[in-house]
């Protein structure tokens, strides 16, 4: 198993090889960089610090043009044996996530998982060029809409 104290693993993955991301991307060229560092926590538990960086082309939900999303994943994961029983305290510990591993750590799958968690649900340009997009976020007050109906002939 990869994860040992003090060990650091660096590398890149071609986006084209991270197939679970493909449905979310406008194109699958380019790559992402990762670094994983293994170390022991205060209870002797095995921790992984995972960082993933890169740019992914997402589709803007308003204009459908490309939004270049900057990945900046920095996660702390505690490696636990697959199928391990966990106490409620452990489950509620939000300083870290738990990573069940059976045998060898699948780095590509882990990186892919972390990217999926990091991607925005509804990506948008900060300043979307679509005409009318600037006021698209304005909420219509239902009472105003009703007031407008008052007094109108049927
Ligand atoms: Zn847009």
pLDDT in tens, 53-85: 999 999 999 999 999 999 999 999 999 888 878
Residue 134 has pLDDT above 60, yes or no: no
Q: Which two tokens stand for residue 33?
A: 């960089």
Q: Write the pLDDT tens digit of every residue in 88-133.
A: 777 777 788 888 888 788 899 999 999 999 999 999 998 887 766 4
Cα-to-centroid distance, 24 and ligand 1 (Å): 15
Return the pLDDT at 143: 57
The pTM assigned to this predicted structure is: 0.75
Cα-to-centroid distance, 64 and ligand 1 (Å): 6
Whole-angstrom CA distances from 70 to 25, 58, 111 are 13, 10, 15
Cα-to-centroid distance, 137 and ligand 1 (Å): 13
Any idea what the Cα angle at residue 5 is, between residues 3 and 6, rounded to 5°?
A: 110
CA-wise closest residue to 55 among 115, 110, 102: 115
Cα-to-centroid distance, 133 and ligand 1 (Å): 8
Cα-to-centroid distance, 26 and ligand 1 (Å): 13
CA-wise closest residue to 17 among 120, 108, 140, 117: 108
């Amino acid at each position: 198993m990869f994860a040992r104290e003090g060990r650091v693993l660096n590398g890149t993955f071609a986006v084209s090889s991270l197939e679970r991301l493909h449905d979310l991307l406008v194109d699958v060229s380019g790559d992402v960089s990762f670094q994983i560092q293994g170390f022991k926590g205060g209870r002797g538990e095995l921790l992984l610090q995972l960082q993933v960086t890169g740019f992914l082309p997402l589709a803007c939900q308003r204009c459908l043009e490309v939004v270049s999303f900057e990945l900046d994943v920095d996660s702390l994961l505690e490696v636990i044996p697959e199928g391990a029983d966990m106490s409620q305290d452990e489950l509620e510990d939000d300083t870290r996530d738990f990573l069940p591993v059976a045998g060898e750590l699948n780095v590509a799958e882990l990186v892919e998982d972390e990217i999926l968690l990091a991607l925005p649900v509804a990506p948008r340009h900060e300043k979307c060029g679509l005409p009318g997009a600037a006021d698209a976020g304005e909420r219509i007050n239902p009472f105003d809409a009703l007031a407008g109906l008052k007094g109108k002939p049927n």
